[in-house]
């Protein structure tokens, strides 16, 4: 009874406050929710309403979300319970809480197996939603894997609707990855399937929008216009506001590319009006990027920069204030890369070299985070395939054992007395051979998996090094070169100081990029190579500290080779230790010692005043926390040892020989 009263009151609120921004279809469904009697009828009405979640006003969704969950928990209908979880997850998805949404639907997938005809439709809805949520977080490989499995299952059961819907979704993911040529065959497949399907409007409308987007990305504007002008009436007939807004965004992009700014602005305004009708917490990433490009092309650079900054704010996306008063948070590296690239271009266009350099640094960090995430996912995928293969091998061994037992049983009945001794000997040999073959196959499989993982890691490392060299290295070198030509006559002392600092920072960027690329391009590095690189670094710094003597000593009986990642950690830790000694020790002598025989160790010793008592590595003083973190990642020990005669010794060594 309490839930019934709550639904009645909430329906009145939703109908009163948001009716002006709903589609006719949603308005009709809201009236059915208002008129429903009993928990099951109310739940069924809400589930029908939430099927339109792409067009549903978010305020309306916020009104019914809690009631939907409560009714789902009270329901005795297992189908409706699972569908209620899906609808509740889609509410979270609309807020951008994709990982939370996944926790609601993934337990339901096992409850609705595809093999059961009565639950198959729910299974497909849950799995498509699972793919959407991963795709929204730029986990494209995972999203595609789900969709490939789904389309194969749909074809197995000759499910025309889901073949078409899955094909359109795969095309959407391919477009998000910037691969229009790989999207078009899937769209053609969707069109072919839709011809034999009576209620094909959801498939056809989405396919025309995506095909228009694909042609636009390939700059085939005439074909794109034809597709979008076909798509827009279908989207309006379907009453899918998300499809319609996406089509308008693509249309605006093409107008902008052709410098038809009046038409581009008109399409953008129509798109934004539709987004406001759905009450999104923020305009979609693609919409914001499109608006920034429009401002850029039409010469409104300050507006474009302000919009970039608005979409680069970070924070707690689950906080209650998120989405209110225009508060939008962008934490995902893949999304930040989009806006950072646009912002860097805008600063460069305005000639703002300082902000341009800072934006490039942030872009490097975002790309590193994105590459790390993708590399980890690739390795995890290999591991998953390996585990799957192990399970398959276990099944094969079980089948073999069963066949072997049957063979022994029936063979023994026929020739037990005649070939008992010979049979036992032969079987023993056969078993041993099979065990050896199985062991060899397993060892070979493990070796192949190890090589595949190692190759994936090496390819990722080399690709990152190439990207750093070809892109950021070129930008940094160009920036440093251009700064060398600049002259500022009659500049104030403050300007000259800032200009000198900018030159120093640009040179530091180049130096650090060179160090990073030096390490990443190598498979492994010898201690002597690290020592030589360290001497170059010291030589560059020595001129700034003429009163301090720096000496590098090598006691290397047997040169030891370190993997590239560990070599880079050691080089950076020694750099930091030398910097600390030069800047903070107040000493006159710095000794760098690298020793190697069966094991190795490296140390930096100064004759200064020693470390303050209140400075601890875990507090981050003098960059010590970074050194501590690097040593933990490499599996080493780092110690700061006070010297009897004064000064500090930093000792780095492996924890095991």
The answer on pLDDT for 32 being more than 60 is yes
Cα–Cα distance measured from residue 33 to residue 386, given in angstroms and rounded to the nearest whole number: 49
pLDDT digits (tens, 9 = 90+) for 251-265: 888 888 888 888 888
The answer on pLDDT for 473 being more than 80 is no
Q: What is the pLDDT of residue 449?
A: 62
Q: What is the pLDDT of residue 653?
A: 92
Phi, psi of 562 (to 5 degrees): -115, 145
pLDDT-derived band of residue 285, with 50, 70 and 90 as boundaries? Answer: low
CB 564 within 8 A of CB 520: yes
Q: What is the pLDDT of residue 622?
A: 60
Cα–Cα distance measured from residue 268 to residue 283, given in angstroms and rounded to the nearest whole number: 12
Same fold, 103-350 and 522-654: no
Q: What is the pLDDT of residue 322?
A: 42
Q: Which residue has the higher pLDDT, 507 or 190?
A: 190
In CATH, the architecture of 522-654 is 2-Layer Sandwich (3.30)
Segment among 74-88, 271-285, 355-369 with least mean pLDDT: 271-285
Q: What is the pLDDT of residue 211?
A: 94
- Local structure of residue 613 (DSSP, 8 states): T
The answer on pLDDT for 603 being more than 70 is yes
Mean pLDDT of 183-187: 93
- Local structure of residue 300 (DSSP, 8 states): -
pLDDT-derived band of residue 379, with 50, 70 and 90 as boundaries? Answer: very low
Q: Which residue has the higher pLDDT, 20 or 452?
A: 452
pLDDT-derived band of residue 207, with 50, 70 and 90 as boundaries? Answer: very high
Domain residue spans in the chain? 1-76, 103-350, 354-493, 522-654
537, containing H or E segment:
helix 527-542
Mean pLDDT of 202-224: 92
Structure tokens at 364: 């490097």
pLDDT-derived band of residue 226, with 50, 70 and 90 as boundaries? Answer: very high
CB 103 within 8 A of CB 109: no
Q: What is the pLDDT of residue 323?
A: 41
In CATH, the architecture of 103-350 is Alpha Horseshoe (1.25)
Structure tokens at 398: 């079980």
CB atoms within 10 A of CB 647: 22
Q: What is the pLDDT of residue 387?
A: 43
The answer on pLDDT for 10 being more than 90 is no
526, containing H or E segment:
strand 524-526
Q: What is the pLDDT of residue 581?
A: 87
Q: Which residue has the higher pLDDT, 524 or 393?
A: 524
pLDDT-derived band of residue 141, with 50, 70 and 90 as boundaries? Answer: confident
pTM higher than 0.75: no
Percent pLDDT > 90 in the chain is: 18
Cα–Cα distance measured from residue 505 to residue 202, given in angstroms and rounded to the nearest whole number: 54
Sign of the Cα torsion 474, 476, 482, 485 reads negative
Q: What is the pLDDT of residue 2?
A: 36
The answer on pLDDT for 62 being more than 80 is yes
Reduce the DSSP state of residue 606 to 3 states and report it: strand
The answer on pLDDT for 381 being more than 80 is no
* Mean model confidence pLDDT for the chain: 78
Q: What is the pLDDT of residue 266?
A: 86
Structure tokens at 653: 């060594």
The answer on pLDDT for 527 being more than 70 is yes
Q: What is the pLDDT of residue 167?
A: 93
pLDDT digits (tens, 9 = 90+) for 415-456: 667 766 776 777 777 777 777 777 777 777 776 765 665 565
Cα–Cα distance measured from residue 452 to residue 413, given in angstroms and rounded to the nearest whole number: 48
CA 527 to chain centroid: 35
Q: What is the pLDDT of residue 413?
A: 67
């Amino acid at each position: 009874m309490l839930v019934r009263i709550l639904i009645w009151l909430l329906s009145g609120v939703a109908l009163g406050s948001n009716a002006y921004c709903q589609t006719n279809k949603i308005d009709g469904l809201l009236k059915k929710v208002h008129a429903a009697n009993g928990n099951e009828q109310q739940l069924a009405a809400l589930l029908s309403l939430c099927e339109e979640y792409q067009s549903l006003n978010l305020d309306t969704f916020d009104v019914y979300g809690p009631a939907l969950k409560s009714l789902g928990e009270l329901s005795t209908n297992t189908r409706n319970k699972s569908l209620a979880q899906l609808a509740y997850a889609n509410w979270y998805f609309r807020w951008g809480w994709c990982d939370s949404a996944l926790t609601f639907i993934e337990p339901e997938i096992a409850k609705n197996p595809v093999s059961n005809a009565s639950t198959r439709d729910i299974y497909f809805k849950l799995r498509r939603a699972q793919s959407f949520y991963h795709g929204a977080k730029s986990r494209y490989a995972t999203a595609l894997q789900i969709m490939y499995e789904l389309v194969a299952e749909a074809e197995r059961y000759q499910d025309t609707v889901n073949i078409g819907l899955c094909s359109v979704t795969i095309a959407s993911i391919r477009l998000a990855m910037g691969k229009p040529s790989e999207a078009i065959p899937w769209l053609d497949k969707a069109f072919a399937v839709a011809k034999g399907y009576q209620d094909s409007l959801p498939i056809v409308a989405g396919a025309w929008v995506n095909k228009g987007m694909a042609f636009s990305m390939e700059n085939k504007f005439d074909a794109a216009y034809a597709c979008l002008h076909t798509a827009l009436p279908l989207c309006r007939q379907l009453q899918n506001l998300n499809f319609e807004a996406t089509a308008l965004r693509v249309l605006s992009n093409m107008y902008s590319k052709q410098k038809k700014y009046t038409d581009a602005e008109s399409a953008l305004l129509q798109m934004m009006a539709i987004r406001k009708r759905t009450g999104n917490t923020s305009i979609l990433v693609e919409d914001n990027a499109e608006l920034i490009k429009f401002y850029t092309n039409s010469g409104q650079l300050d507006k474009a920069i302000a919009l970039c900054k608005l979409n680069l704010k970070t924070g707690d996306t689950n906080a209650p204030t998120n989405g209110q008063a225009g508060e939008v948070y962008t934490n995902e590296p893949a999304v930040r890369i989009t806006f950072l690239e646009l912002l860097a271009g805008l600063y460069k266009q305005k000639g703002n070299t300082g902000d341009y350099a800072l934006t490039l640094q942030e872009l490097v960090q975002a790309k590193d985070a994105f590459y790390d995430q993708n590399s980890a996912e690739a390795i995890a995928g290999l591991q998953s395939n390996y585990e799957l293969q192990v399970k398959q091998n276990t099944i094969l061994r079980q089948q073999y054992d069963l066949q072997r037992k049957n063979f022994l049983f029936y063979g023994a009945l026929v020739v037990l007395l005649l070939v008992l001794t010979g049979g036992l000997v032969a079987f023993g040999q056969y078993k041993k051979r099979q065990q050896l073959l199985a062991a060899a196959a397993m060892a070979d499989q493990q070796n192949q998996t190890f090589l595949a993982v190692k190759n994936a890691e090496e390819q990722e490392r080399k690709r990152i090094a190439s990207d750093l060299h070809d892109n950021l290295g070129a930008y940094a070198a160009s920036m440093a070169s251009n700064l060398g030509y600049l002259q500022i006559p009659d500049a104030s002392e403050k300007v000259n100081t800032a200009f000198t600092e900018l030159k120093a920072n640009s040179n530091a960027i180049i130096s650090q990029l060179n160090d990073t690329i030096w390490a990443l391009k190598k498979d492994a590095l010898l201690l002597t190579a690290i020592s030589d690189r360290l001497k170059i670094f010291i030589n560059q710094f020595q001129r700034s500290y003429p009163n301090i003597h720096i000496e590098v000593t090598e006691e290397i009986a047997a040169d030891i080779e370190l993997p590239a990642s560990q070599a880079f950690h050691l080089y950076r830790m020694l750099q930091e230790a030398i910097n600390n000694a030069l800047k903070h020790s107040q000493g006159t002598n710095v000794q760098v010692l690298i020793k190697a025989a069966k094991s190795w160790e490296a140390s930096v010793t100064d004759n200064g005043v020693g470390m303050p008592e209140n400075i601890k590595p875990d507090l981050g003083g003098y960059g010590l926390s970074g050194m501590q973190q690097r040593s933990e990642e490499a599996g080493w020990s780092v110690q700061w040892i006070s010297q009897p005669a004064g000064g500090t010794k930093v000792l780095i060594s492996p924890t095991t020989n």
